Amino acid sequence: MTDSAVGPYRLEAPFSTAGGGQSQWTFATRDGTSYFIKQFLAPTYPLPDGPGSAAGKAAKRLRCERFEAHHQTIDRLLSPLSSAGGNLVVTKDFFRYGAHYYKVTDRVEAADLPVEAIAAQPLAHRLLLMMSVTHSVGLLHKSGLVHGDLKPPNVLIKQIGPDRFTTKLIDFDNCFHVGDVPVADELVGDPVYYSPELMAYVTGNATADTIGLPSDVFALGLLFCQYLTGVLPSGRTSGYPGEVIANGGSLKVPSVSSDLEKALSELIGRMLSPGPADRPAVAEVGQSLKLLRKMVGSGTSPAPASTAGGGAGGTSGGAGGALRGKGLGIAGGSGAGSGAGSGTSAPAKTEGTLRGSLIRKKGPLT
């Protein structure tokens, strides 16, 4: 192995580490095609001439076997869900070279846009992006798969025409089938986007059977809050959003102006409900977004908001109530509502942000 190649892949730039340092990434070429390639820094396979006792090497081999089996299983389950040019960027190649494991995916030309820039776009653009990523997550959920690491860097924004944008969902390293949750110390997602139950699980305060599809819905709610307002929800106490709820606190979606944005804020509030059973299924989220998008396109406006206070977790006013009759499926009393406040600390750089630093960047949304 040389510094410029990994097996049949010729590196286009040196590997760069981002996030927690558990992986590093670059682009590489094979047979004239450019790909995205990730090197896992752990686990490492014990080579025959490597250091360590026989017992230590045996333990490492067992961990590597579990690692390989997990990725091979997820790749097999994802394969029928993806298609050329589709919105799920799945694995093209997974292999071990020397002591390290590597994963290869298609290279995506994407706009390097922070959530603040997305939040400044017209509501119609934001709703289309939300609908696109919801559709991708819905494909996973129909097959009983939890993504496990939904966050802005793992949702790439791609321009597909004038004023037309879509999303590409990446990084399925934390993906698992419902009922087959990895052991807590093998989860490598971003705790900023952990659901309360996932936060409790990784800290040893809950069992694996509490983790399911609603965990993704919570993370999606955090992502949509950023698309809507530019920041994460605020909480009465400091900490990650899921940690705030797990410790008995509550979240608030920052205030928005238009009635349609208030209706969207109420939907996000339901997605951020403390109890997994109280969150809407991703299919319901998709239908609600579709209806909102239709109302934006037709110029329909909900009834004027009431000056009376809203429910425990809902926004003040009647936007949600006006849309319930149209089938939006919004209900008050969720664990997250609207109100002034700033987001929690921004997540560390991850695979998506590295992609943004390496790709040929597109211009901002217009």
Residues 323 and 219 in one domain: yes
The end-to-end CA distance of the chain, in Å, is: 45
Residue 119 tokens, joined: 């939040």
Residues 135 and 94 in one domain: no
Note the pLDDT of residue 326. Answer: 53
Residues 245 and 312 in one domain: yes
**What does the mean pLDDT of the chain come to?**
83
Q: Is 165 helix (H, G, I), strand (E, B) or coil?
A: strand
Structural domain boundaries enclosing 70: 5-107
Is residue 160 domain-resident? Answer: yes
- Can you spell out the DSSP letters for 241-286? HHHHHHTT--EEEPP--SHHHHHHHHHHHHHT-SSGGGSPPHHHHH
Residues 11 and 154 in one domain: no
Contact 267, 279 (CB under 8 A): no
State what percent of residues in the chain have pLDDT above 90. 64
Residues 57 and 139 in one domain: no
Verify cis geometry, omega within 30 degrees of 0, for the bond prior to 114: no
Residues 91 and 173 in one domain: no
pTM (predicted TM-score): 0.83
Quick check: 260 pLDDT over 90?
A: yes
Please state, as a whole number, how many other Cβ atoms lie within 10 Å of the Cβ of residue 232: 25
How far is residue 134 CA from its own chain's centroid?
Answer: 10
Q: How many independent structural domains does the chain possess?
A: 2
Is residue 357 domain-resident? Answer: no
pLDDT, one tens digit per residue, over 73-127 is 999 999 999 876 689 999 999 999 999 999 999 999 888 789 999 999 999 999 9
Residues 35 and 61 in one domain: yes
User: What CATH number does residue 25 fall under?
Assistant: 3.30.200.20
Residues 281 and 220 in one domain: yes
Residues 59 and 185 in one domain: no
Residues 81 and 148 in one domain: no
